[in-house]
């Protein structure tokens, strides 16, 4: 049975005393993790939470978050992870929209929940006497027998980033999430003998899948143990636990390359380095491959809705800018605005079909109709093309496209050029209104530590590599750019702060 709970139970039978999860100085064996998940399932049952009902999780990274994910899976209940970086109104929206029956929260977040009108939704706080933690400790450790979870039952309801309006809830089944684990483990060559590192917040699907993958194959997984993110802590954990595989978004890969070049991280430990969320430039790709000669570097393209859609193993002279071929069981096609197939090499909207796709958008028939085709292909609005060999190249999000005098400009393409400069750390490109052209391209960049950026040199770089309508009208060096939970630069936040020509100065 391809369910999340049965995957953990199987690993616990095989590997009971083996260390499953590490979080700072805390650790859980497979036997302990499985027992705690069973107890959580019984607590939910005794609370009257029926299979299919939703339980919201307002929790930071930790062993408890992982235990609850698996306990929910065994109870047939649907987990709703809440982004800790959301403002209270955003949290309230997700709780109301998901029609949550119970909230499990860290007690430190009580001030946030106290601001919300929860419609008498019960809240149980972890670590507080008489509430969640005590009830779990007193519950039976046996496998729950009150409901037989099916593969197609929903496991989680995950809200998308909501960069273009209200977030949409994606219903993801047990089978879809297990298929991600099986496909990645198979294609990446990850084994139970290795140690993985879940770096991103566990309310994010990236780490949720990462932990599920590790537990399904019987590996040991380190969970990032700090409340605030700092690249130096990532390097510390990689060294401390001799991490063998991990997901490092491109902005973090820069710090990883700096660390290995300065001798701050051991190059021989990492065997599989995964990246996602943004394409690699040739300079960063080369630094990682040369710095970690024993590691395999992979780019994975996916989304909350897709799971893992494509994958490519990078080499020094391999194709640049591609996110690879479809992963096991996935199909990709490129359609125009009328949902007709386009020729290879021509940009259109990316559609994916396969076993790791979400089931549907929660309570959103319009979005389901708009994003699904009748034959089961799904789009999240990304624009790209397939070359003659079937490699997928992304050019940008459809809704982020800038139109300059009738010409389409994809921000990622401009950002990729800026990121080629060795002094640039991060980049954000967006459009601003222009009376004559419709929009103009503006760019923000940060400089790498210890470097000094020359804006004129960046403008020359763009002049040499981009058509005139794609070149930034102005470039501003800023001290920092906000990263979202997935490690990507959030263009929306950059635009809110610097979204006028006047803010760029003269």
DSSP 440-478: EEEEEEEEPTT----HHHHHHHHHHHS-GGGS-SEEEE-
- Domain 401-504 of CATH type 3.30.300.30: yes
Is residue 158 a contact partner of residue 170, using CB atoms and an 8 Å limit?
A: yes
pLDDT confidence of residue 278:
64
pLDDT confidence of residue 161:
57
Residue ranges of the chain with per-residue pLDDT less than 50: 162-164, 506
- Domain 248-398 of CATH type 3.40.50.12780: yes
For the domain spanning 4-174, the CATH number is 3.40.50.12780
pLDDT confidence of residue 408:
77
C-alpha torsion angle, residues 124, 126, 127, 128 (rounded to 10): -10
pLDDT confidence of residue 486:
66
Residue range 107-124, pLDDT digits in tens: 999 998 988 888 789 999
HSE-up of 73 (CA within 13 Å, CB side)? Answer: 29
Helix (H) or strand (E) holding 494: helix 491-498
Single pTM value for the model = 0.84
Distance from C-alpha of 103 to C-alpha of 65, rounded to nearest angstrom: 13
pLDDT confidence of residue 487:
73
Distance from C-alpha of 124 to C-alpha of 132, rounded to nearest angstrom: 5
Same fold yes or no, 4-174 and 401-504:
no
pLDDT confidence of residue 279:
66
pLDDT confidence of residue 236:
95
Q: What's the token pair of residue 430?
A: 């967006």
pLDDT confidence of residue 164:
44
Residues contacting residue 41 through CB under 8 Å, at least 6 positions apart: 5, 71, 72, 74, 75, 144
> Which position has the token pair 């939470």?
49
pLDDT confidence of residue 56:
98
HSE-up of 33 (CA within 13 Å, CB side)? Answer: 39
pLDDT confidence of residue 261:
95
pLDDT confidence of residue 163:
40
Q: Where are the domains of the chain?
A: 4-174, 248-398, 401-504
């Amino acid at each position: 049975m391809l369910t999340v709970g049965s995957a953990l139970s199987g690993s616990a039978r095989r590997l009971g005393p083996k260390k499953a999860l590490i979080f700072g100085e805390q650790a859980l064996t497979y036997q302990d993790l499985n027992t705690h998940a069973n107890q959580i399932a019984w607590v939910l049952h005794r609370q009257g939470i029926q299979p299919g009902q939703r339980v919201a999780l307002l929790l930071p990274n930790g062993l408890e978050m992982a235990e609850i994910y698996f306990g929910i899976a065994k109870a047939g209940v649907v987990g709703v992870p809440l982004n800790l970086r959301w403002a209270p109104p955003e949290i309230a929206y997700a709780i109301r929209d998901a029609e949550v029956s119970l909230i499990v929260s860290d007690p430190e977040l009580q001030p946030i929940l106290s601001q919300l009108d929860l419609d008498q939704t019960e809240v149980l706080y972890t670590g507080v006497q008489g509430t969640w933690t005590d009830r779990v400790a007193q519950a039976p450790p046996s496998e729950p027998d009150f409901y037989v979870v099916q593969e197609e039952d929903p496991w989680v309801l995950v809200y998308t980033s909501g960069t273009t309006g209200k977030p949409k809830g994606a219903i993801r089944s047990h089978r879809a999430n297990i298929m991600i684990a099986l496909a990645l483990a198979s294609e990446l060559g990850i084994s139970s003998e290795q140690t993985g590192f879940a770096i991103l917040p566990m309310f994010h699907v990236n780490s949720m899948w990462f932990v599920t993958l590790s537990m399904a194959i019987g590996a040991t997984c380190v969970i990032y143990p700090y409340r605030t993110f700092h690249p130096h802590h990532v390097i510390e954990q990689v060294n401390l636990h001799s991490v063998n595989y991990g997901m490092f978004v491109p902005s973090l890969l820069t710090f990883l390359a700096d660390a290995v070049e300065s001798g701050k991280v051991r190059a021989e430990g990492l065997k599989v380095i995964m990246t996602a969320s943004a394409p690699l430039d040739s300079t960063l790709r080369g630094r990682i491959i040369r710095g970690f000669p024993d590691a395999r570097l992979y780019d994975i393209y996916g989304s909350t809705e897709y799971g893992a859609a494509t994958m490519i193993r990078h080499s020094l002279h391999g194709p640049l800018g591609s996110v690879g071929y479809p992963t096991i069981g996935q199909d990709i096609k490129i359609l125009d605005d009328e949902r007709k197939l386009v020729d290879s090499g021509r940009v259109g909207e990316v559609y994916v079909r396969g076993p790791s796709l979400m089931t549907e958008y929660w309570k959103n028939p319009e979005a389901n109709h708009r994003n699904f085709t009748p034959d089961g292909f799904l789009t999240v609005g990304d624009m790209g093309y397939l070359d003659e060999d079937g490699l997928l190249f992304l050019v940008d999000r459809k809704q982020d496209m800038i139109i300059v005098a009738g010409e389409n400009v994809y921000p990622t393409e401009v950002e990729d050029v800026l990121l080629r400069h060795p002094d640039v750390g991060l980049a954000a490109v967006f459009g601003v209104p222009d009376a004559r052209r419709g929009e103009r391209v503006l760019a923000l960049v940060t400089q790498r530590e210890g470097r000094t950026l020359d804006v004129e040199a960046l403008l020359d770089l763009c002049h040499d590599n981009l058509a005139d309508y794609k070149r930034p009208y102005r470039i501003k060096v800023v001290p920092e750019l906000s990263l979202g939970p997935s490690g990507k630069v959030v263009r929306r936040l950059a635009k809110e702060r610097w979204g006028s020509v006047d803010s760029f100065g003269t």
